[in-house]
Structure 1
Amino acid sequence: MADDDDVVYPLTGNDDLIAAGLVPEDDDDIRDNAAALLGINVSSGSTLIDLDGGDGGGGVASAPSVPTTWTPVGSNSTDGISSLGKRKSDVWVDFDEIYETLQKRAIGLRLIEIKHSGENIAERIAAVVEEYCLIDKIFFITLDNASSNAKAMNTLTALFAGYLGPDPSPDPLDPSNRKYSLEYYNAMGVRPRKFGLDMNVRWNSTYLMLKHLLSYKNVFSVFINSHYGSQLSTNHWYVAEKLLEFLELFYDSTIVLSGVYYPTSPLVLHHILEIASHLHACEKDQNLRAIVYPMKLKFLKYWQDIPLLYSYAFILDPRAKIRGFFNMLQLLGEYTGSEYSSYYADAKT
């Protein structure tokens, strides 16, 4: 075996394989793989890979190399280095546009190991914002409708007033202040409570809002009319009662068809028929006609072509069977103006 002084450094992987009597690797494959994965040229005289990051302290010295192309992060240019001073491989060229346009950053994701109250949420948010010096750079804040978030914003609004503006909460002279509302509740002998809001993304929210509101209509009438003039009249409450009556069937159908402890598929056609009959009858009401017509169009869009699964479940119900299914289709056709004879034949076969 040769002495160490006779060995020429550095030994390559192929030299070791040849010395061991094994077949060497194909240099072309090595070059191709290195070019694809590392973005460097490993031909003779090229730069050796610096495992220490090129920061000194034991790194392998670089030999003269063939110039290669590097892509900076967040730039359309394919030359240069990244914003962190690191050279970037050509394989990332396709991602330049994403790096340039996408500017979302999660700067703080702090765990709240105690109660998620408004005070604790506000404390964590304020700590992150102060840590990154963003107090005077907050443009808007997006939250869901949790009550703890609303309480947190009551604390944070004063801190972020530089961009968010003044505290929007009512001052003592504002008649909408909760203190004055409580006085009216106590004077009317009604227990104070919170009311739900009408939300576009929550089913039956309008119905639930009106249902809880109508029992307090006298309190609201006295409170609003005494501070804002004659804003609420009996006609307004009449319209609210009509809307509550109109929406009640949709709420009941949602509750029944959302059950989990009983089969709901046999009940679908029952409620489709009830809703179709309800919309057909309300079309004649002058107060509801404007909202019933688009609702009926939407209803027909989804339920004019009834899925056969619900028809089979309806037929297998001992209360309905095939005769009840035939009668149901006849009534549904009268309410919607649709023809279901061919659909009945398909269901039978």
Structure 2
Amino acid sequence: MENIREFGSQPSNSSNDGSIVVEAQIVDTNSQQNVQPTTAVPAKKRKQVDSRSRVWDHFERITDASDVTIVFVDGPGFRKFILVACPMFKIPSRWTISRDISLIYEEERLKGEYIAKALETCLLDWGIRNVYTITVDNTSSNDTSLGFLKKKLLSWGTSTVKAKYIHMRCIAHILNLVVQDGLKYCDVSVKKVRKAVRYVRNSPARLKKFKDLSSWIGIELKSSLCLDVPTRWNSTYLMLQSAISYQKVFEAFEESDSSFKSDLGESVPDFLDWESVKSLVEVLKCFYDMTIRISGSLYVTSNAFFSEISDLYCLLNGLVEVGGSVKLMGLNMKAKFEKYWGK
């Protein structure tokens, strides 16, 4: 008979700890002389993965007896870290964390059902039973609510194509996700221009000198030099668009300010960088104009935006056919598009 013992006082059906030792014992005393003693089966050693982060150069790595780094909330390394960072914080056990996550899930699931019941009440009050699509954003609660509502529509027996397309994502939201995925793979030219813009804007004296050079060269524009917010792709488009207009000013600034090149080093944008950014701006302009058209409408219907969705798909196919870095960006955008609207 095998006796299985798990370390700790917690229930044995959990698999979070992983520290299980199996011991085999012989219980037949009559045949004890004829049976060789069974050796203990060691616990399976987990493979240690080498950390590539330079963060570990500044911290002490704490391992257990099997030379495995301890990363659970019950581990001494994490507790030592919290004791230094916030001595007053009481660390919950992994059992408490697991329970809290389950409670949060149940609360969010109920919120989705509440939304579905509210939609059901509205449809009944309005006398609407035949629904083709419902347009929502991409939050997880909407998946639950529309799944619940889909079952209701099917039970009514009045749904179109068996409510297959009932869950329609917001086109503006999906367009934002598509472009964000594409910009993750933008080339270094965008980063160089961003650093150049940040360098000028970080000092009032530099910004004044930049404006004086702009007036001396004869570039008078209504749009000022702006810095983007990386999480908002449309602000990146506006930053690059304004920076291109001041390309000659940046070149003159580099010649007149010795610290500009010494501080930025190889991050100073050259002619090829500006040409690359111009190509990217032409692509982003199509998405920006589409966003303006979509956001400017107060009457959102599927038939009104079907052409916009088709235009977006054709635009992504065109990017893939271009080749080079633009092709890579187009492939990632198209993958995000097909995740939601591939069918």
Bin for the TM-score computed over the shorter chain: 0.3 to 0.5
Q: Per residue, is there more helix in 1 or in 2?
A: 2
With structure 2 as the length reference, what TM-score do the two structures score? 0.35
Q: Per residue, is there more strand in 1 or in 2?
A: 2
With structure 1 as the length reference, what TM-score do the two structures score? 0.35
Bigger Cα Rg = 1
